[in-house]
Amino acid sequence: MTRRLQADASGIAEAAAILLAGGLVAFPTETVYGLGALATDSAAIARVFAAKGRPAHNPLILHVANKALAARFARFDARAERLAAAFWPGPLTLVLPLIRDAGIAPAATAGLDTVAVRVPRHPTALRLLEAVDGPVAAPSANRSGQVSPTTAAHVLADLDGLIDLVLDAGSVEVGIESTVLDLGRPDTGRILRPGGLTRDAIEAVIGRLDVSSGASSEPLRSPGLLARHYAPKTPLRLDAVSVAKDEALLAFGPQPLEGAGWMLNLSPKGDLAEAAHNLYAMLRALDTEGARRIAVMKLPEGGLGEALADRLKRAATA
């Protein structure tokens, strides 16, 4: 069985020792719980892919305690410098050119010439990363393609016995993954995965972003780009305007649809930040009810709505 420790000083110290010895530790970030492994340890990275059942062509995000550590293995241009100053620590991942001789395990970047990196905002994550004093690869701590974990209990439901330790700091703050911004090519900035930082906030710092989706034939440059992802076992039906008794309803706003056999409301007051915080926990809860399908009410498109729409679209893909 996987051990579960409180995220106090002794728990963090033990977690750091396990990571430095090549072990796997799940820990909270402000977005979701991540499954950490030392990014310079090829054997540990291989264990991450095995525990998650993750495809080898899907790169990982490297987490560090500060920008100076990131600069040891990633090349920052002026745009990346401004964004790091504005939003780190926080839910922004930058895809940057990789410094080839920096010692990062090739599997962590899926053999690409770029690397995804961020500085998380959660105090437990920061203290753990400071203790490790190096990059920790940390995809979401769940089986690949399934609903991401926002509590330690979610981690154990998916990975108990497959990893060494879970640091428990309660429920996370944001509830959906970081925004991934590709700056790997000069003069082009493109959001690969919308997330906890909005497009408007990024554009306010570096100007308009490329809105193209990129070539479908190019290798995955970021996590979260598989067609089916974040998915419960129960099928999803999006933009529902009615609901049946044998369906569960994932509602939004003060006027939920009537008639569902089961219902949870992402935000009765219609707040997208609250909806993001609740999304994965509510999908997990409705997935246990035995409904034929989960009907999802339409959410607003602006701000965090872009990230929520991305998650729900991928979760509903057959």
Say what the pLDDT of residue 318 is: 73
On whether residue 212 sits in a domain, the answer given is: no
Nearest to 99 by CA among 88, 111, 115: 115
Question: Which residues make beta-bridge pairs with 193?
Answer: 180
**Residue that terminates a domain, selected from 154, 184, 206:** 206
Per-residue pLDDT of the chain (318 residues; tens, 9 = 90+): 999 999 999 999 999 999 999 999 999 999 999 999 999 999 999 999 999 999 888 999 999 999 999 999 999 999 999 999 999 999 999 999 999 999 999 999 999 999 999 999 999 999 999 999 999 999 999 999 899 999 999 999 999 999 999 999 999 999 999 999 999 888 789 999 999 999 999 999 999 998 765 545 567 777 767 667 888 999 999 999 999 999 999 999 999 999 999 999 999 999 999 999 999 999 999 999 999 999 999 999 999 999 999 999 999 987
241 and 202 within one domain:
no
Pair 43, 177 in one domain = yes
Residues whose CB falls within 8 Å of the CB of residue 130, separated by 6 or more in sequence, listed in order: 65
- Shared domain check, 252 and 117: no
Q: What is the pLDDT of residue 217?
A: 53
Do the bridges between strand 3-6 and strand 114-118 make them parallel or antiparallel, or are there none, so unpaired?
unpaired
Q: At what angle do helices 272-287 and 152-159 cross, to 10 degrees?
A: 40
Task: Name the pTM for this structure.
Answer: 0.94
Look up residue 132 and give its two tokens. 């490790």
The confidence score (pLDDT) of residue 146 equals 93
Burial class, 245, CB count within 10 angstroms (exposed 0-12 / middle 13-18 / buried 19+): exposed
**Per-residue confidence (pLDDT) for residue 227, from 0 to 100:** 67
Domain that holds residue 259: 236-316
The per-residue pLDDT for 228 is 76
d(CA 136, CA 117): 10
Question: What pLDDT score does 230 carry?
Answer: 85
Among the candidates 189, 206, 223, a domain finishes at: 206
Pair 102, 73: CB distance under 8 Å: yes
Looking at the structure, tell me whether residues 194 and 255 fall in a common domain.
no
